[in-house]
Structure 1
Amino acid sequence: MSDWTARDRDWSADMRAALAGDSLAYKRLLSALAPFLRGVCAKFCARIGAPASEVEDAVQETLLALHLKRHTWDPAQPLTPWIAAIARNKTIDAARRRGRRVETDIADFEDVLAAPDGADAFERELDRRDALRLLDQLSARQREAIEAVSIRGQSLRDAAQALGVSEGALRVSVHRGLKSLADLYRLKSQ
């Protein structure tokens, strides 16, 4: 019997016992799953280009999903593939919510980044004022959405929660607001 099948047999037995009400078996199962899930989530994060910092969040979301959906597991089926599928889905969900961002430490570039001179600072201030005037022409909902996500850099989840809207509604507001800003900028530039 391979290590995988022996491990799956033990985990499946613990899950069956947990479903029957054995809290010690459930605790033992979760303790055994945590390191396994870290490895699985790390592989999925690497595969989809998500930073390693996302691994622990994906592990926690997977453990929560397992807890909430444990009653849907078919005891006649192996447990490990079911758990791995949930981990994969949770990692992908986290990456979708995060969007496609690349994180780079700017300390590596501090020697080559030029410090702005006074003229550049003046031009940036004019650009900032123009941007604020354009933002003021948007609806309040679109302006708040863009300020939260694009200017303050909040995640969709945090911004949606702060604004009291769903993530989907926030995405629509940001998209429409950015389209309106582009249209306003084109009109201003003509």
Structure 2
Amino acid sequence: MDTREIRWAEAMRAERVGDSMAYEAFLREFAIFLRRLVETHLRRTRFGVAETEDVVQEVLIAVHSRRDQWDIQRPLLPWLNAITRYKIIDTSRRLGRDARMRIDLSEEEWARMFTSDCINFDHNLADAERLISELPRKEQAAVRTIALEGASTGEAAKKLGTSDAAVRVAFHRSLKKLMLAAQGRL
């Protein structure tokens, strides 16, 4: 039998009797394994690996919230694999839909877009601010730092205390949401 199966199943059983340290150790080890697995899958399906952490977190949340549904008499790995597989499938479908709406511009193009004379900021500033304020806080911070302040993703990451990849993901997600919100207002 796989040693991971034994260790992880013992940790899950220990969690049921209150051993939170064993459960936390399992989650950390599983997350490391999961990151490699998800990143490999996203690369193989030609999607960017920027979504890796989101998928890992979704799987960990699903495992945690459904941990009481695992039958301790049955192997753990097939149960974990099923959750992981469905979360990867969901993400792949979402990424496929998102790819059709994706706008890939360089940082210079984004900067020019927000400083262009063709945009009447006096007229649109209140609307833009209202739309930005409806975003989650992290996405608001990314938009304001990159689009309005003109920071690079590296500078924004340093200012916001996060990684470049997290800033890029938050920025692209927020731009997509802003575009959809603006289209709904036209």
1:8 is aligned to 2:5: yes
1:99 is aligned to 2:98: yes
Report the equivalent of 1:167: none
Give the number of aligned pairs: 143
Question: Alpha-carbon deviation of 1:104?
Answer: 5.8
Note closer, same or farther for the CA distance 1:16–1:102 as it changes in structure 2 (3 Å cut): same
Residue deviations 1:104-134, cap 9 Å, x none? Answer: 6758xx9xxxxxxxxxxxxxx99x9xxxxxx
1:60 is aligned to 2:57: yes
Using the aligned pairs only, state the percent identity.
35
Q: Structure 1: which 5+ residue stretches go unaligned? A: 111-124, 129-143, 161-170, 182-190
Report the equivalent of 1:81: 78
Match for 2:45 among 43, 48, 58? Answer: 48
Question: Alpha-carbon deviation of 1:81?
Answer: 2.4
Q: Radius of gyration: which is bigger?
A: 1
Report the equivalent of 2:125: none
SS of structure 1 residue aligned to 2:66: helix
Report the equivalent of 1:35: 32
8 Å CA contact 1:40, 1:84 repeated in 2: no
What one-letter code is carried by the residue in structure 1 that aligns with 2:84? A
8 Å CA contact 1:44, 1:88 repeated in 2: no
Note closer, same or farther for the CA distance 1:105–1:73 as it changes in structure 2 (3 Å cut): same
Output aligned runs, 1:119-134, within 5 Å: none
Residue deviations 1:6-37, cap 9 Å, x none? Answer: 11111101101112221111111111111111
Q: Structure 2: which 5+ residue stretches go unaligned? A: 109-116, 120-130, 136-170
Computed over aligned residues only, the root mean square deviation of the Cα atoms, in angstroms, reads 4.7
